[in-house]
């Protein structure tokens, strides 16, 4: 069954403006997740100096964002990408108030539902699905623009929190975030329109699964497990970098600089890798990112100098966003323009679970071994699994020559 696809507006100036607006929305929606990191001691101080309280809020926020992404992708398919953003605007305002207004259960509830499931989740998956329908020639570049949203969020919001926390405390800081980000998201939602493909009758056709190189459930399992493994491997050095540098005697400030190097490199590398995907395809780019990640993880196992840490942080930053961006591009190439929005949500759910589990696993291994070397070795093992899963997908693609030609 085929139908003409409305292509008016594809690759248009509005499409490029929408890419930057979507990036801005993702940066807004992701801000809450950084307060339990920056304000860990301040939050813990109000709950008996239990650092597990803000840490659990962080994990709850990540998991809820992943689960909510599946729902929000489905909702955007049934309505439009504007609807999730409107929900996010209202929910983040409410979540900032709820999480900052009561005890520990209010904190968890705020991060779980309004800030995570209905807030942050509503900004990424619907935007990623929608923007790919607005581009043909430079789709990977547009996806790269959106993909740097979390990195920008990771730059900007911690700086704002470091300024606000000493002045007003963590509760007022979270409330200010909720009002500011929620209001801006609500306003931005009115600029967002569904892609031409989504507005056409073709968007209501059933996905053509006959062209896939493997059964659809197998592809979803491969990509979901690859996303989980790559993000576990990514998170272990990233989350524990400050502590790692402190253990080596370099101080927390040097660790923060290493984290900044990862994020700075990630922003630049995402555009390079996105452009490269236009030429060689997203599976090969994701495999390249996995190989680069292996290089950095092997280095972290043995590094002892500050210059070495800085160098490895730059290497680790190259695939930090680009490899996850690759999964979104792979799904688009596999399933075509009528892909169901929930598919990306499922893969991102496993990616977010990987980030949450990786952060916890690195600490758990350190508690047992009193060294991060074993934690980095575990990260390396997870990334080797990621490489194997992507390799299996590439092998199946080659059996159907020409299947994943970049477009």
Check residue 406 and give its pLDDT.
46
Domain-terminating residue out of 202, 231, 256: 202
pTM value is: 0.78
- CB-CB contact of 277 with 140 (8 Å): yes
The three-class DSSP label of residue 215 is coil
Domain identity same for 49 and 23:
yes
Which of 180, 202, 224 is a domain's end point? Answer: 202
pLDDT at 103: 87
**Residue that terminates a domain, selected from 167, 202, 237:** 202
Same domain, 61 and 114: yes
CA distance readout (Å), 100 to 133, 214, 277, 313:
38, 47, 43, 34
So what's the pLDDT on residue 4? 47
Residues 293 and 385 in one domain: yes
> Do residues 388 and 230 lie in contact, with contact meaning Cβ atoms separated by under 8 Å?
no
Mean pLDDT by 10 residues, the chain (407 residues): 55 90 94 80 78 76 85 87 94 93 90 92 88 81 86 84 87 94 95 76 55 82 93 88 84 80 88 84 90 95 94 93 84 74 83 83 83 92 94 79 47
Distance (Å, whole) CA 146 – CA 126: 11
The boundaries of the domain holding residue 285 are: 205-399
**Structural domain count, the chain:** 2
Query: What confidence score (pLDDT) does residue 1 get?
Result: 40
Q: Do residues 270 and 333 both lie within one domain?
A: yes
CB 24 within 8 A of CB 149: yes
Question: Is 226 in the same domain as 238?
Answer: yes
Note the pLDDT of residue 303. 93
Residues 6+ apart with CB under 8 A from 124: 26, 29, 30, 65, 69, 149, 150, 348
Residues 275 and 179 grouped into a single domain: no
Q: Are residues 97 and 196 in the same domain?
A: yes
Q: What is the pLDDT of residue 128?
A: 85
- Distance in angstroms (rounded) separating the CA atoms of residues 97 and 110: 8
Can you give the CATH number for the domain in which 108 is found? 1.20.1250.20
Regarding whether 161 and 291 lie in a shared domain, the answer is no
The answer to whether residue 6 sits within a structural domain is: no
Residue 406 lies in a domain: no
What is the Cα–Cα distance from 370 to 365, expressed in whole angstroms? 8
């Amino acid at each position: 069954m085929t139908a003409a696809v409305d292509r008016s507006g594809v690759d248009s100036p509005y499409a490029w403006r929408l890419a930057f607006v979507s990036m801005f929305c993702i940066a807004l929606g992701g801000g809450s997740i950084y307060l339990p990191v920056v304000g860990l001691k301040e939050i813990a101080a109000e709950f008996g100096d239990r650092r597990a309280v803000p840490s659990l809020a962080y994990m709850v926020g990540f998991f809820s964002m992943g689960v909510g992404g599946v729902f929000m992708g489905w909702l955007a398919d049934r309505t439009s990408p504007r609807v999730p953003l409107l929900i996010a605007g209202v929910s983040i305002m409410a979540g900032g108030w709820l999480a900052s207004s009561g005890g520990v259960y209010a904190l968890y509830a705020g991060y779980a539902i309004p800030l995570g499931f209905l807030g942050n989740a509503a900004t990424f998956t619907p935007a990623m699905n929608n923007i790919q329908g607005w581009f043909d020639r430079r789709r990977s570049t547009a996806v790269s623009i959106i993909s740097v949203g979390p990195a920008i969020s990771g730059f900007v919001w911690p700086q704002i929190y470091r300024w606000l926390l000493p002045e007003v405390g963590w509760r007022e800081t979270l409330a200010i975030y909720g009002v500011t980000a929620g209001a801006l998201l609500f306003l931005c939602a009115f600029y967002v329109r569904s892609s031409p493909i989504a507005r056409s009758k073709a968007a209501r056709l059933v996905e053509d699964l006959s062209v896939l190189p493997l059964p659809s459930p197998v592809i979803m399992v491969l990509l979901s497990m690859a996303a989980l493994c790559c993000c576990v491997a990514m998170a272990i050095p990233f989350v524990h970098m400050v502590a790692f540098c402190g253990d080596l005697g370099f101080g927390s400030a040097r660790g923060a600089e290493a984290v900044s190097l990862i994020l700075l490199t990630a922003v630049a590398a995402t555009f390079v890798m996105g452009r490269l995907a236009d030429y060689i395809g997203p599976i090969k780019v994701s495999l390249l990112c996995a190989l680069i990640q292996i290089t950095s993880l092997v280095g972290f196992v043995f590094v002892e100098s500050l210059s070495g840490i800085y160098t490895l942080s730059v290497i680790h930053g190259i695939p930090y966003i680009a490899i996850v961006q690759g999964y979104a591009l792979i799904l688009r190439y596999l399933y075509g323009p009528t892909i169901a929005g929930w598919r990306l949500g499922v893969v991102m759910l496993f990616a977010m679970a990987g980030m949450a589990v990786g952060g916890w696993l690195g600490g758990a291994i350190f508690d047992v071994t009193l060294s991060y070397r074993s934690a980095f070795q575990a990260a390396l093992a997870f990334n080797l699994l990621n490489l194997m899963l992507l390799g299996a997908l590439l092998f199946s693609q080659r059996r159907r020559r020409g299947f994943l030609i970049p477009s």
